[in-house]
């Protein structure tokens, strides 16, 4: 049982990305850890058809007191974990506020609207600037890059969970998350733990 | 990960709504579960199938919902508790059986039907509220307000169904079914009943054991008796409750996930002392006494519910029957326009409705920030349309269909059906699909078009259907096409999976829901035995597949079949590494000078192909690319290269 | 010269969908979107290119500035005579009996091609070969044998230029073409404004144009033949000179004839609007010598053509003679008549004497033709 407290109750965490990135897995790990610590957790997800290249967002509501709805009301996000740059900005537009804390993986995934020539992907540096302006605190974590160095882009998930835990914005630590990680990644658990630790290192550097 | 059969009563687990329902069924001692995959219901059967062997129960993916419902009823007739689960479209499919089942009654095993609606049709072809069927056919109906209730209600329904002698229905929506929340587990039963079909004929019993619908009018009377009994029980159910002040400025009447939204809204506005919430869990028959008791709590009543004004209408009916001296509150909801009558709800809408009614303003965040954030998002965030995965055989299939139709030149038409390939309607499938309705409709519509030759119709007709959809609903339509000599080509997209809903097995795959090997039903043998010409193509062989389609389109005669056989990429990727390493040779790629106007990215639209603006050439996104190598045959310069991995 | 921003959309609107397409193939094969298939040009996808839209640019039924083209090919303005610019008009026939046996009339085309190949004038030629279903398809012949296989007329349109467009971009080499008047016009346009990002037009060293009054629609005529004959037995087609008035099909065993009128129903509509009977922009134009069996009429137009003809005579490959004045007069009359008829049809179609659709002729010439 961790001694730390939620910085707000309910704590509203959004994890956003593109279908197929492993979004759902991150929310599950975080959610399960908190439930075992005695919290109420509600996770709302948009998936199904949207897996096919569409945007995916998970709304995680954490509370000591009661079960909240699976939707974070507009403007009420406390933390945004963005696995893809424009999706992060999309979330800030709707759910951001001056206090929001953002962790962002700056690796673009181009939609077919962009590759097909009907839409422009914004300049990445300018986008990151905007994200910083719209957040009280921002961490840029090159999760995909680091994951590719480890041999597969899928390690980005564990890296980002590490970053989230390492940042201290949630009352979680390695001890509480560790067992849940082991259950969730039965294959390649050691590699994922390495990735997780890398994420902690990255956010603290 | 948490399995739904974990033996830890009293502990709290994070379960998906569908898992909670499955757990509730397990705790009730369910023995038989049947379903057809349909978002957002699939995980109910999916999770039961995973634990079925250990739990000593039976779970199956039936070929369609009709058979699933009928099979579950069969189990109930033999005294085994049974469950059937489906999405809203499944309810449409089983309605004829249900209309007869409510007349016959069920057996000694409680029978529960779970219907999962998809507000906003996020993963559906239509948006539809299935609650009205409870009123239409007289089926006791409940709707869980959170994840705990999803489990508890399911468990309770089996008891209720047995007490009443009729099937009971639980309605869920995406935001419960696919959302996760805390569920305190109960005990799991130790033993299953023995199955036996009781032949005793007992007319005196309210629960007749001769399980036929006739004589219908008498059965109908018995049904009403059952419904009255249900109403009595609902009056005292703890699933219905009121939270809030005795005298409220506004009372929200709500059910299901909207109970959570309403609470969210009241909290956000800080109106716990002014706004009360009447949460209904048992929706049909309505607990009239309970409702009447609370109608006086407020002069203003707001109905918050997903999709149709079901509660609204039902409560209005109660109000209409009140003595004329009773005070009449002002009602707000879908009729007044305070709550959307279409599309899914969310807490923001409830906040807005309450604010409007009570004339409050609500500002969740700083106005300046709001303007800036919204403006940034609007100008900087491009659309992200859905598409086929990189390496999906459907992309190749639609490419060959498009080319064949264009070469043929007579304005060929593609009728569509339900699955990943429904995206053939849009840019992902090159806008080839022209019609789309429900499971099996593609071949049905094609049958009609294929008979219009006498009216001067000469456009080739192709009906695309997935392998699972083929077994589910298309065989009768194919038989019709052969028997009635309707001129169309049934293009079966055989990717060995029910992919869109989560890769559930089907009769062509040779595996059951419980992972057991079984007879695989060969679709080509089946079609040939019907007398149709059958061709099997590999959609990745663009040239040969296009030629085959062209040849079949130029032929006369009745319905014929072209099977596009190649495994779903996501399935394949689970088992093997990518077959090729694909990259763009930047010497050979001449960018805009090619004259093809970026065929690879602009037209072919595989998400693995991107345009590197800095050098003005095509580039493979190695994170997205799955190495299928099809794009190699698209590039007119031969600039895309594949190397065996 | 107007080079508007026009693309494949306008190509369809102005030419293909209004019955003006000659199936020359100049628009096809150069990009992934336009392809020839069974008697029509199919558009597989939309292309958003407007400037530099080569499909529109080289089509012989989009704007033709006759003077500009003539300047490029001949270095002089358009000759508004009956048969275009000429250096010499003769009649000739092959001295090789094998060629004469296979060929349509005098075998001049095949002889000139073989000579050009063996002398290294060209490395290959895009010709028309009859495929198994007896419809013609373009073929890149690189040996004398292959050229011989392509002898003979099918009387059906064939998209020869699609094959030319398909040659990979940086391919070198010297190429010959045997083409119909519409195709010769397209090639002349390409010479006047060389195509970009394709095989270089400078590769084309020799253009032999054929005389043509009309061409048959490949898919419609093919269906007609299929209904009446066993196509596997068909060897050769021929239209004997008037007053025969028939279309002959020679099979392995005999000859079947159809009234010319019956076959004429399968003429492509676009031929009614064509002013060019003798391939006026070729290096050498070749046709039947009417009334003189076994001989070709040969019009030498450019220095390239003259050089080749001289070589052919010197090496004894061709027997050459003066074309009888009556034959020449008849040729000119026929050619002029085609121009007059075509212009009349054009004006009828446009509804306006000043709107000649795709043709840019001097007003003087136009007046003369319409008189």
- The encoded tokens of residue C328 equal 């020449």
Q: Which whole number is the average pLDDT over C160-171?
A: 92
CA distance B550 to chain C (A): 11
Residue with tokens 């995934």: A109
pLDDT band at C131 (very low <50, low <70, confident <90, very high): confident
Tell me which chain C residues have a C-beta less than 8 angstroms from the C-beta of B602: 48
- B593–C45: do the CB atoms touch at under 8 Å? no
Q: Report the pLDDT value the prediction gives residue B642, as an integer from 0 to 100.
A: 95
pLDDT digits (tens, 9 = 90+) for A86-108: 999 999 999 999 999 999 999 99
pLDDT digits (tens, 9 = 90+) for B375-388: 999 998 898 888 89
Question: What does pLDDT average to over chain B?
Answer: 93
Closest to B69 measured CA to CA, from B45, B34, B103: B34
Q: Report the pLDDT value the prediction gives residue A134, as an integer from 0 to 100.
A: 97
* pLDDT over threshold 60, residue B209: no
pLDDT digits (tens, 9 = 90+) for C203-236: 999 999 999 999 999 999 999 998 998 888 888 8
Q: Report the pLDDT value the prediction gives residue B484, as an integer from 0 to 100.
A: 92
Lowest-pLDDT range, A129-143, A184-198, B197-211, C3-17?
B197-211
Q: Which whole number is the average pLDDT over B229-254?
A: 97
- The encoded tokens of residue B66 equal 């009709």
> Of all residues in chain C, what percent carry a pLDDT higher than 90?
71
Q: Which whole number is the average pLDDT over C11-24?
A: 95
CA distance B166 to chain C (A): 58
Q: Report the pLDDT value the prediction gives residue C37, as an integer from 0 to 100.
A: 94
B181: nearest CA partner in chain A: A42
Closest to A105 measured CA to CA, from A189, A21, A25, A192: A21
Cβ neighbours, 10 Å, residue A167? 20
**Domain spans, chain B:** 12-235, 241-358, 393-574, 577-644
Return d(Cα A71, Cα A61) in angstroms, integer.
Answer: 8
- The encoded tokens of residue A46 equal 């948009």
Tell me which chain C residues have a C-beta less than 8 angstroms from the C-beta of B594: 197
3-state secondary structure string across B37-74: CCCCCHHHHHHHHHHHHHHCCEEEECCCHHHHHHHHHH
* pLDDT over threshold 90, residue B202: no
- The encoded tokens of residue C126 equal 């895009």
B393-574 CATH, one of 3.40.50.970, 3.30.565.10, 3.30.200.20, 3.10.310.30: 3.40.50.970
Q: Report the pLDDT value the prediction gives residue B200, as an integer from 0 to 100.
A: 61
Residue with tokens 């008849």: C330
Nearest CB among B430, B593, B599 relative to C32 is that of B599
Q: What are phi and psi of A36, to 5 degrees?
A: -65, -25
Return d(Cα B589, Cα B638) in angstroms, integer.
Answer: 8
Query: Under DSSP, is residue B302 helix (H, G, I), strand (E, B) or coil?
Result: strand
pLDDT digits (tens, 9 = 90+) for B513-527: 999 999 999 999 999
Q: Report the pLDDT value the prediction gives residue B411, as an integer from 0 to 100.
A: 93
Give one DSSP letter per residue of B436-498, joined into a string: --STTHHHHHHHHHTTGGGGT----EEEEEEHHHIIIIIHHHHHHHHHTT---EEEEEE-SSB
Burial degree of A5 (CB within 10 A; 0-12, 13-18, 19+): exposed
B418: nearest CA partner in chain A: A49
pLDDT digits (tens, 9 = 90+) for B388-420: 999 999 999 999 999 999 999 999 999 999 999
- 3-state DSSP helix/strand/coil percent for chain C, to nearest 5? 35, 20, 40
Return d(Cα C317, Cα C306) in angstroms, integer.
Answer: 15
CATH class of B577-644: alpha beta
Query: Under DSSP, is residue B129 helix (H, G, I), strand (E, B) or coil?
Result: coil
Residue with tokens 């020539």: A117
Please give the interface size between B and C, counted as residue pairs whose CB atoms are below 8 Å apart.
Answer: 45
What's the half-sphere exposure (Cβ side, CA atoms, 13 Å) at B481?
32
| Sheet with A55-63, side-by-side order of all strands | A137-140, A101-104, A79-82, A11-18, A55-63, A40-45, B180-184, B12-16
Contact partners, residue A192, CB within 8 Å, separation at least 6: A155, A157, A158, A181, A185
Q: Domain B241-358 belongs to what topology?
A: Rossmann fold (3.40.50)
Q: Which whole number is the average pLDDT over C308-331?
A: 95
Q: Is C25 on the interface with B (CB under 8 A)?
A: no
Q: Is B632 on the interface with C (CB under 8 A)?
A: no
pLDDT band at B346 (very low <50, low <70, confident <90, very high): very high
* pLDDT over threshold 50, residue C2: no
**Residue from B542, B588, B597 whose CB has the most chain C CBs within 10 Å, to mutate:** B597
pLDDT band at B1 (very low <50, low <70, confident <90, very high): very low
Q: Which whole number is the average pLDDT over C194-209?
A: 94
**Phi-psi map region of C120: left, alpha, beta (phi>0 left; psi -120 to 50 alpha):** left
Return d(Cα B376, Cα A127) in angstroms, integer.
Answer: 9
Q: Is B266 on the interface with A (CB under 8 A)?
A: no
Any chains having at least 3 CB pairs less than 8 A from chain B are: A, C
Q: Is C226 on the interface with B (CB under 8 A)?
A: no
* pLDDT over threshold 50, residue A2: no
* pLDDT over threshold 70, residue A1: no
Q: Report the pLDDT value the prediction gives residue C252, as an integer from 0 to 100.
A: 85
Q: Report the pLDDT value the prediction gives residue B631, as an integer from 0 to 100.
A: 96
Q: Report the pLDDT value the prediction gives residue C50, as an integer from 0 to 100.
A: 66
Tell me which chain B residues have a C-beta less than 8 angstroms from the C-beta of C37: 407, 409
Residue with tokens 């070589």: C311
Q: Report the pLDDT value the prediction gives residue A47, as an integer from 0 to 100.
A: 60
pTM: 0.87
Any chains having at least 3 CB pairs less than 8 A from chain A are: B
> Of all residues in chain B, what percent carry a pLDDT higher than 70?
97
Q: Which whole number is the average pLDDT over B109-131?
A: 96
CB environment A175-197: b (16+ within 10 A), e (fewer): ebbeebbeebbeeeeebbbbbbe
Whole-angstrom CA distances from A22 to A18, A87, B62, B184, C35 are 8, 14, 30, 27, 43
Q: Which whole number is the average pLDDT over C307-331?
A: 95
Same fold across B241-358 and B393-574? yes
Q: Is C48 on the interface with B (CB under 8 A)?
A: yes
- 3-state DSSP helix/strand/coil percent for chain A, to nearest 5? 45, 15, 40
- B1–A20: do the CB atoms touch at under 8 Å? no
Q: Report the pLDDT value the prediction gives residue B384, as an integer from 0 to 100.
A: 85
- C47–B636: do the CB atoms touch at under 8 Å? no
pLDDT digits (tens, 9 = 90+) for B3-37: 899 999 999 999 999 999 999 999 999 999 999 99
Query: Under DSSP, is residue C331 helix (H, G, I), strand (E, B) or coil?
Result: helix
pLDDT digits (tens, 9 = 90+) for B156-188: 999 999 999 999 999 999 999 999 999 999 999
CA distance A72 to chain B (A): 8
- The encoded tokens of residue B50 equal 């995973």
- The encoded tokens of residue A139 equal 């961490």
Contact partners, residue A168, CB within 8 Å, separation at least 6: none
pLDDT digits (tens, 9 = 90+) for A40-51: 999 998 764 555
Q: Which whole number is the average pLDDT over B334-362?
A: 96
Return d(Cα A191, Cα A193) in angstroms, integer.
Answer: 5
Q: Which whole number is the average pLDDT over B360-366?
A: 93
Return d(Cα C135, Cα C139) in angstroms, integer.
Answer: 13
CA distance C52 to chain B (A): 9
Q: Report the pLDDT value the prediction gives residue B359, as an integer from 0 to 100.
A: 96
- A115–B607: do the CB atoms touch at under 8 Å? yes
Q: Which whole number is the average pLDDT over A124-152?
A: 95
Q: Domain B12-235 belongs to what topology?
A: Rossmann fold (3.40.50)
Beta strand segments in C154-267, E? 175-179, 204-210, 234-238, 246-251, 255-259
pLDDT band at B351 (very low <50, low <70, confident <90, very high): very high
Tell me which chain A residues have a C-beta less than 8 angstroms from the C-beta of B364: 73-76, 97
A11-149 CATH, one of 3.40.50.1370, 2.60.120.380, 3.40.920.10, 3.40.190.10: 3.40.920.10
Q: Which of residues 319-358 of C touch B (CB under 8 A)?
A: none
pLDDT digits (tens, 9 = 90+) for B70-108: 999 999 988 899 999 999 999 999 999 999 899 888 888
> Of all residues in chain C, what percent carry a pLDDT higher than 70?
98
Closest to C234 measured CA to CA, from C131, C134, C105, C153: C134
- B409–C48: do the CB atoms touch at under 8 Å? no
CA distance B378 to chain C (A): 27
- A96–B384: do the CB atoms touch at under 8 Å? no
Closest to C41 measured CA to CA, from C140, C159, C144, C135: C159
Bridge-based pairing of strands C136-141 and C124-130 is: antiparallel
* pLDDT over threshold 90, residue C176: yes
Q: What spatial distance separates the first Cα and last Cα of chain B, rounded to whole Å? A: 33
């Amino acid at each position: 049982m961790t001694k730390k407290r939620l910085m707000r109750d309910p704590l509203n965490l959004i994890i956003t990305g593109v279908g197929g990135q492993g979004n759902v897995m991150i929310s599950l790990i975080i959610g399960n850890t908190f439930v075992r610590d005695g919290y109420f957790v509600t996770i709302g997800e948009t998936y199904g058809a949207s897996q096919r290249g569409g945007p995916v967002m998970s709304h995680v509501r954490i509370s000591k007191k009661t079960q909240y709805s699976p939707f974070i009301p507009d403007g009420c996000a406390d933390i945004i974990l963005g696995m893809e740059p424009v999706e992060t900005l999309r979330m800030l537009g709707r759910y951001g506020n001056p206090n929001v804390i953002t962790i962002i993986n700056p690796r673009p995934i181009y939609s077919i609207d962009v590759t097909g020539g009907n839409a422009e992907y914004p300049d990445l540096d300018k986008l990151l600037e905007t994200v910083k302006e719209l957040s009280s605190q921002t961490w840029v974590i090159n999760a995909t890059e680091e994951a590719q160095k480890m041999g597969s882009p899928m390690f980005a998930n564990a890296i980002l969970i590490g970053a989230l835990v390492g940042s201290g914005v949630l009352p979680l630590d390695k001890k509480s998350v560790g067992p849940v990680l082991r259950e969730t990644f039965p294959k390649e658990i050691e590699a994922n733990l390495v990735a997780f630790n890398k994420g902690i290192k990255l956010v603290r550097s | 990960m948490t399995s739904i059969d974990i033996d830890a009563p009293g502990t709290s687990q994070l379960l998906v709504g569908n898992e909670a329902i499955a757990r509730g069924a397990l705790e009730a001692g369910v023995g038989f579960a049947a379903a057809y995959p349909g978002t957002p219901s699939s995980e109910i059967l999916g999770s039961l199938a995973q634990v079925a062997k250990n739990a000593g129960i039976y779970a199956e993916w039936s070929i369609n919902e009709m058979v699933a419902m009928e099979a579950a009823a069969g189990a109930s007739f033999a005294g085994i508790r049974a469950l059937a689960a489906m999405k809203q479209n499944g309810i449409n499919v089983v309605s004829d059986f249900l209309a007869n089942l409510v007349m016959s009654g069920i057996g000694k095993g409680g029978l529960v039907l779970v219907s999962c609606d998809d507000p906003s049709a996020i993963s559906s072809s239509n948006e539809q509220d299935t609650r009205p069927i409870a009123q239409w056919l007289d089926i006791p109906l409940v709707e869980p307000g959170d994840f705990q209730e999803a489990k508890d209600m399911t468990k309770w329904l089996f008891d209720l169904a047995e007490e009443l002698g009729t099937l009971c229905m639980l309605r869920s929506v995406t935001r419960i079914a696919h959302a996760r929340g805390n569920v305190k587990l109960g005990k799991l039963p130790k033993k299953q009943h023995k199955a036996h079909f009781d032949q005793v004929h007992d007319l005196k019993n309210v629960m007749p054991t001769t399980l036929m619908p006739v004589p219908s009018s008498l059965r109908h009377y018995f049904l009403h008796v059952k419904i009255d009994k249900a109403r009595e029980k609902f009056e005292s159910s703890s699933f219905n409750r009121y939270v809030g002040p005795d005298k409220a400025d506004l009372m929200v009447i709500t059910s299901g996930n909207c109970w959570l939204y309403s609470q969210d809204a009241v909290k956000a506005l800080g109106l716990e002392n002014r706004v009360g919430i009447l949460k209904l869990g048992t929706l049909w028959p309505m607990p009239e006494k309970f409702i009447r008791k609370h109608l006086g709590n407020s002069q203003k009543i707001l109905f918050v519910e997903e999709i149709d004004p079901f509660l609204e209408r039902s409560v209005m009916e109660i109000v209409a029957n009140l003595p004329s001296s009773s005070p009449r509150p002002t009602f707000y909801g879908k009729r007044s326009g305070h709550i959307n009558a279409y599309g899914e709800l969310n807490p923001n809408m409830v906040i807005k409705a309450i604010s409007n009614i009570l004339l409050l303003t609500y500002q969740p965040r700083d106005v300046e920030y709001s303007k800036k954030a919204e403006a940034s998002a609007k100008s900087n965030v491009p659309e992200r349309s859905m598409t086929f995965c990189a390496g999906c055989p459907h992309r190749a299939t639609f490419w060959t269909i498009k080319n064949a139709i264009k070469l043929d030149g007579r304005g060929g038409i593609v009728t569509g059906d339900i699955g990943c390939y429904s995206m053939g309607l849009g840019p992902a499938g090159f806008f080839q699909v022209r019609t789309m309705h429900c499971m099996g409709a593609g071949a049905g519509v094609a049958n009609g078009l294929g008979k219009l030759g006498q009216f001067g119709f000469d456009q080739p007709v192709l009906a695309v259907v997935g392998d699972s959809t083929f077994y589910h609903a298309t065989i009768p339509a194919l038989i019709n096409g052969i028997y009635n000599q309707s001129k169309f080509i049934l293009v079966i997209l055989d990717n060995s999976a029910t992919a869109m809903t989560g890769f559930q097995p089907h009769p062509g795959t040779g595996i059951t829901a419980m992972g057991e090997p079984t007879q695989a039903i060969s679709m080509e043998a089946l079609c040939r035995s019907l007398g149709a010409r059958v061709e099997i193509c590999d959609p990745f062989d663009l040239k040969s597949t296009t030629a085959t389609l062209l040849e079949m389109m130029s032929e006369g005669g009745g319905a014929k079949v072209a099977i596009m056989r190649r495994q779903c990429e996501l399935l394949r990727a689970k088992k093997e590494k990518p077959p090729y390493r694909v990259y763009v040779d930047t010497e050979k790629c001449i960018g805009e000078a090619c004259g093809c106007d970026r065929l690879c990215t602009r037209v072919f639209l595989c998400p693995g192909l991107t345009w590197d603006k800095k050098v003005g050439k095509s580039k493979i996104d190695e994170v997205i690319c799955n190495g299928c190598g099809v794009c190699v045959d698209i590039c007119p310069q031969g600039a895309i290269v594949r190397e065996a991995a | 010269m107007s080079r508007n921003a026009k693309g494949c959309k306008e190509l369809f609107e102005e030419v293909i969908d209004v019955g003006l397409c000659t199936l020359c193939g100049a628009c096809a094969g150069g990009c992934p979107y336009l392809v020839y298939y069974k008697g029509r040009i199919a558009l597989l996808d939309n292309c958003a290119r407007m400037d530099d839209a080569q499909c529109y640019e080289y089509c012989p039924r989009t704007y033709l500035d006759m003077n500009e083209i003539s300047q490029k090919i001949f270095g002089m303005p358009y000759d508004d005579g009956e048969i275009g610019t000429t250096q010499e008009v003769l009649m000739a026939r092959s001295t090789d009996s094998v060629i004469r046996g296979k060929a349509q009339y005098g075998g001049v085309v095949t002889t000139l091609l073989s000579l050009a190949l063996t002398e290294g004038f060209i490395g290959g030629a895009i010709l028309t070969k009859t495929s198994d279903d007896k419809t013609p398809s373009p073929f890149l012949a690189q040996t004398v044998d292959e050229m011989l296989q392509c002898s003979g007329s099918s009387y059906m349109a064939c998209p020869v230029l699609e094959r030319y467009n398909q040659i990979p971009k940086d391919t070198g080499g010297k190429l010959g073409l045997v083409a119909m008047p519409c195709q010769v016009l397209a090639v002349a346009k390409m010479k006047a404004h060389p195509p970009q990002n394709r095989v270089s037009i400078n590769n084309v060293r020799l253009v032999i144009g054929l005389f043509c009054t009309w061409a048959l629609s490949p898919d419609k005529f093919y269906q007609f033949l299929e209904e009446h004959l066993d196509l596997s037995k068909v060897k050769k087609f021929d239209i004997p000179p008037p007053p025969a008035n028939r279309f002959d099909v020679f099979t392995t065993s005999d000859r079947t004839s159809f009234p010319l009128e019956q076959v004429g129903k399968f003429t492509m509509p676009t031929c009614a609007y064509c002013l060019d009977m003798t391939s006026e922009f070729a290096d050498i134009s070749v046709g039947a010598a009417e009334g003189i069996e076994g001989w070709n009429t040969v019009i030498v137009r450019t220095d390239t053509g003259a050089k080749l003809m001289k070589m052919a005579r010197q090496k004894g490959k061709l027997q050459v003679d003066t074309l009888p004045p009556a034959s020449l007069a008849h040729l000119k009359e026929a050619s002029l008549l085609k121009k007059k008829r075509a212009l009349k049809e054009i004006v009828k179609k446009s509804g306006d004497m000043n709107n000649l659709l795709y043709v840019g002729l001097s007003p003087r010439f136009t007046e003369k033709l319409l008189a």
